[in-house]
Structure 1
Amino acid sequence: MNSETKQPVNLPKHVAIIMDGNGRWAQQRGLPRIEGHRRGAEAVKRTLQAARDNGVRCLTLYAFSVENWNRPKDEVDALMDLLGNFLDEQLPELLKREIRLRVIGRYQELPEKIQKRLRDAEAQTAHFTEYTAGLALNYGSRTEIVDAVKSAAEAARSGDLDLETLDYDRLRPFLYTGEMPDPDLVIRTSGECRLSNFLMLQAAYAEIYISKVLWPDFDQKEFKAALDDFARRERRYGKTTAQLTKS
């Protein structure tokens, strides 16, 4: 870790980011939308480094939603190409920094060549335990919950799950995120104030930080600003301040 990086005392274990604003960034500069996505990929690289430098053990990025298939085909195809190039470039960095890659979402519906790269990257980094980079691909929280309920129902039919004892902790293994911790902090860029079908169940008690910066301009300084803001917040989980003081 960079010796000049000062970590906040109250550090989130898991930061999830809704990367928004690539298209607007390009539009403001009279550039094609794909150029905004290219610059957004550079911001991903910076953010992975910033998370590692600041001691954030789990970072999940909302890269492609189930709704994104509704975009023009040429844009979707270009996004898949960018994803493939990103994986090829970043796998050596993940191995070097000992960061595990976890993919969440229905990524079996992505192009086969992308699936192969994802499976390979997950397999090569599976033994790392200290840091995790999550990529949400073909992800939607409502889809995830439906899939989790179906899997839980199947487990109940086979006798592996007692529905009478079902609670969130017992449902958690059926979610795409599996053993990943719930996010403590959700960052959304571009000034928009919504979750957009992202980790809605897991983020039930997450702090939310809205950055006005468009994603291609998101950098280490803005990431640190989000961490500093998180450190100043009091997380009560339904308790009063007085109850927290006594505990």
Structure 2
Amino acid sequence: MKVLNDFYTLSNGIKIPKLGFGTWQVPDGDVAYHSVSLALKNGYRHIDTAAAYKNEASVGKAIRDSKIPREEIFVTSKLQSHIKSYDEALKAFDKTMEALDLEYLDLYLIHAPWPWNEIGKDCSVGNVEAYKAMEKVYKEGRVRAIGVSNFGPKELDNIINNCEIVPHANQIAFFIGHNQKETDDYCKEKNILIEAYSPLAIGHALSNEQIQKMAKKYKVTPAQICLRYCIQKETLPLPKSTHESRIIENTKLDFEISVKDMKELDKIDDDPRKWE
């Protein structure tokens, strides 16, 4: 399981484990606590949460109770998408740190460029305000890296043109059939790491016939094809599961998809959002 020992290096020199463990839609309490505990037990050293997930307290407790040295675990959380002011962003960061009960955070992201109930709204001014608050806590050493989530080139330009620090990461929906080429190209040009959430297309990709055929060819599972695809695209997948067998399966990515087969996977146009 070599992937668990592999890292990307962010533009500020911070190392980030190449595979993360996501906790979106993992309920607070025993479920979140046990899933994060299982992930850590099985070698994951990168845990992703968010204030909006409402499970930061359980995630933080699992990290503390693991007895793994804090510096060996990379922890990400996110500023709620509706918070678009400097002061509110600073307050929200304090709340996140209180919930996690950790001394510092490794990565803090603006969860979205607009409130989830107003997708597409222009929040250019508010995003700059929130990001400047994140720059403050970054300079204070309370967080080791900062970035954004669900931002496209236009929203990223706004941050880069009006703030001091180019975002270190951009966490976006990225999976076979939805590889967001324009945003991916932009981020690679600016040395912004793409983190791939929903790398299994919310499970939809697992029933795709082409992906299933590819999995048989490589003698792996459809999930492993999806995660390996993300890594070969130089993105950082964040799979989630509450089942130990799948938590382990998602780490077994020590195979290589050929260039030809990667091109075939690129051709898949099967974004589940079409049916939402």
For normalisation by structure 1, the TM-score amounts to: 0.44
User: Which of 1 and 2 has higher RCO (CA within 8 Å, sep 6+)?
Assistant: 1
